[in-house]
Amino acid sequence: MPGLPERLSAWLAAGAHGEMAWMAERTAERTAPAGLWPEVRSVVMLGLSYAPGTNPLDLLARRDRAAIAAYAQRRDYHEVVKGKLKELGGLLAARSGRPVKVFVDTAPVMEKPLAEAAGLGWQGKHTVLISREHGNWLLLGAIYSAAELEPDAPEPEHCGTCRRCLDICPTAAFPEPFRLDARRCLSYLTIEHAGPIPAEFRAPMGNRVFGCDDCLAICPWNKFAQDARATRLAARDDLAAPPLADLARLDDAAFRRLFAGTPVKRTGRDRFLRNVLIAIGNSGDRALAAEAARLLDDPAPLVRGMAVWACGRLLDRNACADLHARSGRGEADPHVLAEWRAALATRDEETPLP
């Protein structure tokens, strides 16, 4: 994969990986399979379809509902894909008499460039791998083999003059085609980013509470993808459009129960509630303000801070001042205090914090 180490270095040097420090570690292993496992002679790349039955973009208009990225509305693909890789890798090892290793997502492996080199598809301008047959709804996995296998030809790029994915991105996360600044990407901000979400990204988040599918859903190559309902990656109906009001009531145990075995459990309850509260603030639905107000007393500052922001978006200043008198006076966390200041200043810049 010529040029790969340079591209990864440039991406890291620009800081585009944000807080994902693990992306800057083990780069020699990441950019060359033999760096990770010196015995490797061939890499078999696999994609498993998770094509959704409905268009994820339709959900964005239902402001009282939560939008969870299509890949996360189902069983965690790490387990499913790994199981399949082990099965196939076992056959390959038995047939070739040579050892194999299997990887999904978390190892220092660049799965998209490898899948492109293996002929599965090409990296679109949104940087995700697109297959002619399945569109961009594929989850990837790798089998490293010590056997010499006949290579397939790489798939050339078929984006042409299209730029729909670049134009639809709600946060302008693509500095140029084929390059993503993760720090601006809602997938990164809602899943990987640990602290409060910077103010500029909150309104563009809309009702996206875990990941984002906009640049994927708009890609015209998806018209060839078949609904993946029949596979072991079938979507869970209760995660298709859950009411924000229900999600705002999750305590730690209920969060773990609801999202057991799905990728959503990764964020933990507090980070997830942070996202839900931002969606509530964006809902324009004053009835949901009561859910946000209840969380003003939450033990987690991350949750309290976004509860303040949501109340500030949905209620007038007087109502916010009442809530502050009830729940905000003893606040000591600097982030939450800053949110109170902003909420109380929203409609009257002159009023000092009571």
Q: Does 180 bind ligand B12 (CB under 6 A)?
A: yes
- Residue 123's DSSP bridge partners are 129
Tell me which of 211, 281, 305, 328 binds ligand B12, using CB under 6 A. 211
Q: Tell me the closest approach of the beta carbon of residue 254 to ligand B12, in angstroms.
A: 23
Q: Encoding tokens for residue 330?
A: 């003893």
Number of residues that bind ligand SF4 (CB under 6 A): 24
CA atoms of 129 and 117, how far apart (whole Å): 11
Residue 219 interacting entry, from ligand SF4, ligand B12, none, C-beta within 5 to 8 Å by type: ligand SF4
Interface with ligand SF4 includes 301 (CB under 6 A)? no
* Interface positions, 125-164, toward ligand SF4 (CB under 6 A): 125-126, 130, 159, 162-164
Q: Mask: binding to ligand B12, 7-46, rule CB under 6 A, as x and -?
A: xx--x--------x--x-----------------------
Structure tokens at 21: 């420090």
User: Which letter does DSSP use for residue 155 in this model?
Assistant: P
User: Pick from 179, 236, 317, 341: which binds ligand B12 (CB under 6 A)?
Assistant: 179
Name the one residue in this structure whose structure tokens are 């080199």: 117
Among 185, 197, 239, 310, binds ligand B12 (CB under 6 A): 185
Q: How far is CA 129 from the centre of its chain?
A: 15
Cβ neighbours of 91 (radius 10 Å) = 11
Place of tokens 């939008």: 67
Write down the catalytic residue from 105, 246, 270, 285.
Answer: 105
Query: Is there a catalytic annotation at residue 251?
Result: no
**Separation between Cα atoms, residue 262 and residue 198, nearest integer Å:** 26
Q: Give 185 or 278: the residue with its C-beta nearer to ligand B12.
A: 185
Helix axes 301-314, 334-345, angle to 10 degrees: 0
CB neighbour list of residue 24: distance below 8 Å, 6 or more residues apart: 12, 17
207 binds ligand B12 (CB under 6 A): no
> Which CB atom, from 40 or from 67, has the smaller least distance to ligand SF4?
67
Structure token digits, residue 48: 């498993």
The number of residues making up the chain comes to 354
Tokens describing residue 168: 């639809």
Residue 72 in the binding site for ligand SF4 (CB under 6 A): no
Judged by CB under 6 A, which stretch of 71-79, 185-193, 241-249, 257-265 contacts ligand SF4?
A: 185-193
Q: How far is the CB of 48 from ligand SF4 (least distance, A)?
A: 20
Helix axes 268-282, 252-259, angle to 10 degrees: 90
Could you tell me the two tokens for 50? 């998770």
Among 52, 89, 113, 196, binds ligand B12 (CB under 6 A): 113
CB 144 within 8 A of CB 35: no
The site that binds ligand B12 (CB under 6 A) totals a number of residues, namely 37
- Distance in Å, CB of 317 to ligand B12, minimum: 35
> Is residue 278 within 8 Å of residue 189, measured between CB atoms?
no
Distance, CA of 97 to CA of 148 (rounded, Å): 11
Is 187 among the residues that bind ligand B12 (CB under 6 A)? Answer: yes
First to last CA, the chain: 61
Residue of this chain nearest to ligand SF4 (CB atom): 124
Q: Which is nearer to ligand SF4, 15 or 220 (CB)?
A: 220
- Which helix H or strand E contains 338, and what residues bound it? helix 334-345
Binding site for ligand B12 (CB under 6 A): 4, 7-8, 11, 20, 23, 69, 71, 104-105, 109-113, 123, 126-129, 136, 138-140, 178-180, 182, 185, 187-188, 192, 211-213, 215-216
> Which residues are marked as active site?
105
Binding site for ligand SF4 (CB under 6 A): 124-126, 130, 159, 162-165, 169-171, 173, 180, 185-187, 212, 214-215, 218-221
